[in-house]
Copies of this chain bind each other. A is one copy, B any other.
Amino acid sequence: MLIPEDFLKKEEDHVEGFSPEVAVVTYAGGEKLEKGLVLRPTSETIIYDTFSKWIQSHRDLPLLINQWANVIRWEMRPRLFLRTTEFLWQEGHTAHSTEEEADLFAKTMLEVYRAFAEDVMAIPTVSGLKSESEKFAGALKTYSIETMMQDGKALQFATSHNLGQNFSKVFNVQFTNDNGESSCVWQTSWGLSTRTIGGLIMVHGDDRGIILPPKISPIKVVIMPMWKSEKTKNVVLNKSKELHDMLVNKYGNSSIILDDRDVRIGQKHYHWEKRGVPIRIEIGPRDVDNNSFVLVRRDTSEKQTVELSNLTNTIEHLLDEIQKNLYLIAKKRQEDNIVDVKTWPEFVENIESGKFVRAYWDENPETEKQIKDKTKATVRCLPLKYSETKEGTCVFSGRKATKKFIFARSY
């Protein structure tokens, strides 16, 4: 948690990037400290100081360390889940013997994050390279996963950095190669934080609450018995328990909730809808008589009546459907809202109407700054999929440009 202040200062860009955000311990154990201790805003410096002791020869490489930890970055404008002074994340760090291997590994981790976003969280992504001004402080290249929220704003979902030898040079992380020569290692670092929960809420939620993709929802199904008299109560509750046990058998105890509270059915709906549970099952006395039950999807509110014998199959199918549907809705929204523009008026109009804009940019930081000042849009990334493009002219400066970048307003 605590990093000696002078560690942070060793890598020039790193200290410049993080200095304004750090919290510093100056008193401890009742005394003033000779040297300040910074609360980790990220752990490259302290981990690589240790790497320099662990790594001697090429046999020690590649090396990978991952930690799930809390970090502190002083925030002037905190925003729940997205930007908080303390947040939880996973940060991974590697050391490699070649530049190629490090760059490949940084891309591999980006792919891990993309797959998690799309396949588990049902959030479509754009993978790309950050601009020089937006890259991680101390990195050679920053790859990022960008996602689009329902309001059209971008959220950076996760990043993976090719650090080159920037840190290994200042922390003396050296290894002896096959030829007996000493050489600095090539490094990567990569992280994903609790802000992804904010992304999940903003991509799938609606006015009635959050909507959780089944693969990440801890609860899959809620069973809601309804009764009007003491006599029907027992019948309904017994059948509900039967369903509950049947589903627990398949999905495990914590995935299936039987809400047998003695409250109005509307209150139960409201409660679980807000919490985003994918499927609810309603059971009243008539359903028990018919041995068929009403399933309601959280994502579309569609209802269907299912006989007991088909229940588990239908639920399995529905969970799969909901997962796919949430992804497809978000994917279509994203595709409909990424537009290619050629002229500055088009650029401004589309940014103002909440789109992601793809346009030629001259890669000049001054242009980038002016675009941001005028529209609040930042360069989100150079998409990896579109990086091979023809020559064009910068949407703002009119100068020659060779690549199309994605611009958007962001959280």
Contacts and interface: CB of A to CB of B under 8 A. Distances in A.
26 contacts: A1-B1, A1-B39, A1-B72, A2-B23, A2-B72, A2-B85, A2-B86, A21-B29, A22-B28, A22-B29, A23-B25, A23-B27, A23-B29, A23-B37, A24-B26, A24-B27, A24-B28, A25-B25, A25-B26, A25-B39, A27-B36, A28-B74, A29-B74, A29-B76, A39-B39, A70-B70
Secondary structure of the A side of the interface?
Answer: strand
Nearest to A39: B25
A286 B41 CA distance: 58
Contacts of A69: 70
A32 to B, nearest CB: 9
A180 interface: no
Interface in A123-161: none
Q: Which 8 A-B pairs have the closest CB atoms?
A: A29-B74, A23-B28, A24-B27, A26-B26, A23-B25, A28-B74, A1-B86, A20-B30
A108 to B, nearest CB: 22
Given A2-B85, A72-B2, A27 B26 contact: yes
Interface residues of A, number: 24
Contacts of A2: 23, 72, 85-86
Complex copy number for this chain: 2
Contact of A29 (B1, B20, B25, B26): B20
Nearest to A76: B29
A19 interface: yes
Contacts of A70: 1, 69-70
Contacts of A27: 23-24, 26, 36
B24 A25 contact: yes
Contacts of A21: 29
Interface in A311-360: none
Contacts of A24: 25-28
